[in-house]
Amino acid sequence: MNKYFGTDGIRGRVGVAPITADFLLKLGWAVGSVLSEKGQASVIIGKDTRVSGYLFESALEAGFLSAGVNVGLLGPMPTPGIAYLTQAYAATAGVVISASHNRFEDNGVKFFSKSGLKLSDKHQEAIERKLEEPMVSVDTTNIGKAVRHDQALGRYIEFCKSTFDRSIDLSGVTMVVDCANGATYHIAQNVFAELGAEVIMINNKPDGYNINLNCGATDTKHLQQEVLKHEADLGIAFDGDGDRMVMVDHQGELVDGDELVFIIAKAWHANGALPSDTVIGTQMSNLGMRHALASLGIQFIEAKVGDRFVMEQMKLHGATLGGEGSGHIICLDKTTSGDGIISALQVLEVLCKSDKALYDLKNEMIKYPQVLINVKTADKVELESHDELNKTLKVVESELGGEGRVLIRASGTEPLIRVMVEARDITVAENSAKKLAATL
């Protein structure tokens, strides 16, 4: 088991180990040392807009240079942009300084390989071993060099636009775009406006502290209000590092990741553009989406929660579309990671070609009400051997029949057991979840 790496890099509270300048200095050195084992290496470093990014960018840069690795600095850049630019600049690895959808008090680091994919477990294990060794800089003649890539922004904007069918355009579409005061603040407007849309921007003035603060994909109330206020056709919300995206329809209703994946999947399936007629979701994917996909003859495969696990299943089954209800959507025929802007473009393309409103496309899938209760625990709970819970679970599943679903799992980050119940009727879901939580 890794000491530092979680399912998506290393993340935590700024100033609390391991998210400290001295650790990230050594982390840069350790990663650089591993990458350099096969010859001269280079990395690119990008970050989101939180204030601690300045500190950690400098620390990582110094660590890489001391390992003899050349560094390209990108400045603020969405996580998927770094995945793409790692390949575009032929770097050995890409480095992201971000805590994704968390508030500014947190930060973290994640890495992409030269092919734009998350670093393998083998690489992570090698880095963890290197971190246990004393930090020793290379000889002065071999210290790495750093350069700032001023063209990175334009390259990524053009790449995003290249994934959209240019035989159509977005003229006549009015949209409100919420950048969560994060890494898409200086990119999203260019992409959508250059494709013809009328774009109204909100939460695109980061100050280092307001990232994900009452805005973005994790809090869409402001976006919903602005869509109604401007009588816009739709709204788009990204999270702080730009790898998640949810939408709001013209009625001001949220359209989540499950509904967006369904919209894309249905269109691609109809056009014969959905390889193996398969979509990858997670344990949390809504039962309504599963049923709607099945009615179209599309296979749904469940992965563990987390984009890394979704990607594993996509590769295993030859799928090009996967995602989570949170809005992390992977279009593998377009790019190598979840990308909020590119996912939004795929939905917009479907809207333009179908000549239907987002509201209408969303309602082609009937989403089941979902109730989630978090049960705090003092100690680790062995769910499989919890006799009383298993008895209650059998009763609840019998009551739900084929019209509902239960998921009980331990949180990977907090002392909690998460109890989730879906059913056609919200009252049934609430009562079932309360019954299971009470037993726990």
pLDDT in tens, 283-292: 999 999 999 9
Q: What is the pLDDT of residues 253-312, one digit of tens each?
A: 999 999 999 999 999 999 999 999 999 999 999 999 999 999 999 999 999 988 889 999
Does residue 117 lie within any of the structural domains?
A: yes
Q: Give the tokens for residue 425.
A: 């009727």
Q: For the residues 148-152, what does the mean pLDDT come to?
A: 96
Domain count, the chain: 4
Co-location of 121 and 176 in the same domain: no
Q: Give the tokens for residue 76.
A: 């603020």
| pLDDT of res. 412 | 64
- CATH number at 66 reads 3.40.120.10
| pLDDT of res. 413 | 60
Does residue 300 lie within any of the structural domains?
A: yes
Q: For the residues 343-351, what does the mean pLDDT come to?
A: 98
Co-location of 136 and 220 in the same domain: no
d(CA 383, CA 272): 42
Does residue 350 lie within any of the structural domains?
A: no
| Percentage of residues of the chain with pLDDT beyond 70 | 99
Q: What is the CA radius of gyration of the chain?
A: 22
Q: Domain of residue 273: give its range.
A: 257-339+356-362
> Could you tell me if residue 328 is left (phi over 0), alpha (psi between -120 and 50 degrees) or otherwise beta?
beta
Q: Of 42, 66, 98, 100, which residue is the catalytic one?
A: 100
Our answer to whether residue 100 is catalytic in this structure is yes
| pLDDT of res. 382 | 75
Least confident of 160-174, 406-420, 422-436: 406-420
Co-location of 290 and 322 in the same domain: yes
Residue 94 sits at φ, ψ, to 5 deg, of -115, 140
Residue 240 has pLDDT above 90, yes or no: yes
| C-alpha torsion 386→391→396→397, nearest 10 | 90
| C-alpha torsion 116→119→122→123, nearest 10 | 100
Beta partners for 371?
A: 421
Co-location of 332 and 378 in the same domain: no
Examine the fold and report which residue of 119, 150, 181 is the final residue of a domain before the chain moves on. Answer: 150
Residue-averaged pLDDT of the chain: 94
Examine the fold and report which residue of 125, 150, 175 is the final residue of a domain before the chain moves on. Answer: 150
Least confident of 13-17, 171-175, 356-360, 435-439: 435-439
| pLDDT of res. 385 | 77
| pLDDT of res. 265 | 98
Q: How many beta carbons lie within 10 A of that of residue 142, not counting itself?
A: 13
Q: For the residues 114-118, what does the mean pLDDT come to?
A: 91
In 283-415, which ranges are E strands? 299-303, 321-323, 329-331, 370-376, 404-410
Co-location of 27 and 131 in the same domain: yes
Q: Are 201 and 231 in contact (CB under 8 A)?
A: no
Does residue 61 lie within any of the structural domains?
A: yes
| pLDDT of res. 416 | 84
Residue 401 has pLDDT above 70, yes or no: yes
